Every structure is written in structure tokens, then in C-alpha cells.
Amino acid sequence: MPYAKWRAGWIANHPGWNHRFYDDSAIRSFVTGRAATWLSTFDALPSMIQRVDFFRYLAVYLDGGMYADVDMISYRSCEPLLVGAACVLGIENHVSTWLQRRLGYQRPWQLANFIFAATPGHPLLGALLEDIARHATTPVVSDHHLQEITGPRLLTRITYGLAADARGPIRLLPQINWNPPAAYPRIGALGRRIHARHVCVGSWRTQRHWWQRPTEGRLGHHIRPPNPFAEPLTI
């Protein structure tokens, strides 16, 4: 995968930013050096991808800024999407009514944890860290279950579950901004709305084929294509 090329694109489109790259070793060093009180939680998590999930929330909680996975492609600057907001999340997928009920979401959207931004000390990220700490030793039974413990399903539930006065306003970007379907062309008015795209390499997955996860394998049929001209919301 052309990770170096993708990273170069982020740097080119955001020349005034301080860009940091963390591999597995650097992640552990960050937690040890900057947040030793969280080290026991970090080490208790059963898998490396869970520790990476925990790290992303912790790093932005401590320093503020934007986090993006290494398999995110940058097409244009994200700065206009962030101006004036203390926390910016993006919609990962629009889900059907059936899947919304199955997952217990208050709204028909799953939120993305592969890219997000917040100011230092944001209470939403603090709530995520605390929840992960409470469930850090929970055995993981599937890739989908993992998403409930540290991944996007946890982020979605915490965001919807926290009272607005406890977390403050959150800017919620439409899916077209950060996770458009690959089939959406980057031309004209539509192209100007596409700032980045998640390639979703999924190297962390242990169950990479639909037949390996029979109870979850058909959930993709309940994902809906996004409205390409939806506007950001404040929730």
C-alpha cells in the first residue's frame, strides 16, 4: 500500500500543520512518557488495534488536533471543516432502520473513528477513555465485537449517549466530506465537497471474509449510500 504517498498528500494539503506519525513502538512510548497513569489500561487491552484506538483518543485528548488513519487519502485541506468547532466528527456510514435498531443507535449514522478532530481535554474523548478503561480486559470474540469495545461503535454510542451539556456541541460532517464511496467522482461541485477518503485497508482484521463472520457477514446490505449534498450538523 502507498502509505508514504498518502501521508505526503496530507502534508502537501496542510503545509502549516505539525504532522506526526506513530508506529506501534512510538505509540507505547507516547503513553509511557505522556500519560503513564493510562499505561495499565493500554497494556490490558487484548489486541494492538485496540491499543491503537485507545491511543488516538488519548493523543487528541492531550494535545488537540486532528487524527487520521494511515490509509486516509487527502484531496484538499480540511481546515475549512474545522473552523470554530471544538470537536468535529464525520459520518462513517448511513445505516438502515433495521441495523440502527440492531446496534441501538439513536440516529441512523455510524460515526468514524478513523478521522476526527478536537480541542485538548475535550469531554467526549475523556468519556471514551474512561469507558475503555472500565472494559479493557473484556475478551474479544470477533472483529465486530472489537468495534464495540474501542472502535467506531463505541464512539457512536458515547457520542449519542452523552448529554449535550456534558460534552458540548459537536460538529458532525456529512459522509461526503471524509468517507465518500469510491464511486463518487471528484469533479465539479461534488468534488469540491470531498476532502478525504478512507481506503479501509483493514489490516487489523482477523476475520477478513464474510464466511468467517456468519452472524455479521451481511450487515453491508444495510449500509445506505450518502446524500452527496448533505450539510454539516451540530449535535
Cα dihedral 139, 33, 118, 182 sign: negative
Bridge partners (DSSP) listed for residue 110: 93
Nearest to 180 by CA among 194, 168, 191: 194
Domains, the chain, ranges and CATH?
Answer: 3-234 (3.90.550)
Output the tens digit of pLDDT for each of the chain's 235 residues.
899 999 999 999 999 999 999 999 999 999 999 999 999 999 999 999 999 999 999 999 999 999 999 999 999 999 999 999 999 999 999 999 999 999 999 999 999 999 999 999 999 999 999 999 999 999 887 888 889 999 999 999 999 999 999 999 999 999 999 999 999 999 999 999 999 999 987 665 665 544 444 445 455 668 888 999 999 999 9
211: Cβ–Cβ under 8 A, 6 or more apart, which residues? 217
Q: At what angle do helices 123-134 and 152-161 cross, to 10 degrees?
A: 120
Q: Report the DSSP beta bridge partners of residue 115.
A: 68
